[in-house]
Chain A
Amino acid sequence: MTNDGDRKRDLLLVAVGFNLILLQLFVIRELALTLFCTEIIILTITVAYFAGCSLGYLLASRIDERWIRPWLFGVVLVHLPLIPAVRYLSGQLAALESRWSGANELAIPLVAGITALGLTSFYTVFLPRAISHGGSSARSLARCYSLELGGAALGLVLALSLPWFAVLVVLYQVALVGIAWCLRFSRPGLVSIGVCAVLVLALLPALDHASAVSFYSRFNGGLSSPRIVHTEQSPYQKIEVIDTNGGRTLYLNGLELFNTRDLEYFNFFLSEVPALLRPVEHALVIGSGSMSSLRHLAPYADKITTVEIDPAVIDVSKRFFRQWNLYDELGDKWNVVIDDAKHFLSTTSERFDLVVVDVPAPHYVQTGLLFTKEFYGLVRARLRPGGLISVYLTENYPANHPERVARCRAGRQIVAALASVFEQLCVLDTNHYPYGFAIAGDRLGFTKSDVAAIVRQRRGVRAKIYSTDEVRPTIRGVEPASYSNLDIVWDLNLWFLPYDLQQN
């Protein structure tokens, strides 16, 4: 028969598992984006998270019972405000950088250390203690461990099915109060914990907003007078829309994806130039961001399909970037499919005249896969005869300078991937951006001078254009980006380390 103490122990383990998975799902992301959220940084914070778990296991049998209660008080008070605090501290460290070189770099060990010591170690103290309390028997181990896993499963399902992130934050604090109850706090103790939890929840939105303003003005991008217009957590990423005096910017996981100041020409090169090179009955845009490529494609395409993995990004683009993407003027011409681009391309029966790959840079393996020869193979299978693919390269591509282009490791691997799939390609290198652009197909049906004529018509734009014959020598001996060669992700990640976000 289960007594009250056993029931409380069981509930405690469920609450522990629940909060641990929420930390893993959201706090790793939040902390990682204060350090420019690339795959290496996410991995670093994840490792710190698990190192914190190890610390908890180590402390489990060593820490005295009477220390756990004050620790819990600290956890209730500090856990959630820790995220804005770290973000604020990152901003302050960046401000110190002018006087103390290396202040920025301090942020990595600082955030990783806080994650390990402050966040997860508390939770993992309980499982070994509960198992030992049950005599370390096989049954005690099985029961306690599966209860904690059950809590984690519950947290995972709720986290990814509840549409309101704020509810999860509240549930997190409720679970902490529940832990206090299971630890048999006295009534005054429980009331104090409850008051602290409510206080933290009440102050959190203001703290979060203030720290985000500090972070974006001092650390990430050095924006002048940023105003946080919208913040949203989707299952994939944190989406932020920020206004400054210079315009509106869309951030995904703290990485700038679109701004209304100087990305106009980016869409011209990526979407409009290829659309002017051949008649486009049906165009496919992979990825959306602000959906601003729609405006550039719409005058030349009869039908446009957008494939985007994250519906929240589409929603944000419709709400906050409509004057830049003009999507509501497209009517029946445009439709959107929520799907992974690889899955969509391999399952659709539709064929396209133009495929525009407008996805974020390969900071992650997930996006890196969309710059590979395997992915381009999927695109090729869905192109109509004479169809084109348009992609951006992750760096400038000065094909006529052998020494400079030799240093473009990632760019050459992407071009090599295109060249391994398509018969012909054309590379555009512009001094407006740190990117090159490539248009590829089995039969291009245009010449360099056709492209040059289009570029010349756009005032203020300049680009060097390279034909297949000029590009092929630059990729001789280069291994194409592929599922077996994700150097492009590695290189881009390393490029941001050590980081100086104010310059990026």
Chain B
Amino acid sequence: MKRNHVVALAVIIALGLIAWAGIANYRKRKEEQAKAKQPVITLTQAASDPSAAAAGDLPPFKNPLANKQAPAFTLRDTHGRKVSLADYKGKAVVLDFWATWCAPCKIEIPWLEKLRDQYASQGLEVLGISEDDLDLDDQKALLKEKKDITDSATRLGINYPVLFDDAKVADPYGGVDALPTTFYVDRNGKVIAATIGLVDRDEIEANIKKALGSGEQAQKGQS
């Protein structure tokens, strides 16, 4: 009897192990099948040289306003306030052209938020200029579009003014063919750098330091 019990126990354990192995194998195959059905492709960075042509095959980016005065503008922000570039005279300003449909912009925005906090005491301001379409002929549609931009800015936690470009401000800035496009304006209102597309955080910070520093030196030279 005892021998029979041992054999029965061994058979039960063996069957249990077989069942467990079968279930584990089934789960593994299911996971592999699910991965194969939904492949996730990682898009690679096209080029590290910001002046190189992007995959869009546009001509290499050349700052259209290098060492020129930044074109003046007055736009409304998401709170309805009028914001002019002239309001920031004596400060370094980052002008970030972006849109709610632009994924690379959403990578850059958190960096701008942190850098703004870091350098605000030294005289930095960031202005986000939304290039989302605005239907100026349809008030109802316009209100919805502005609300969508405002909601998107809130979701992204943007801590600097976000402006609606209902006056084609992008035109005097070279047309802004791709987003994000960022201009760095020094304390004297001169454009000292510009980048197109997603660039390295360190490059953004270096341009901010340049904008803060170059205008400061120029102002000291004038006084």
A and B bound? no
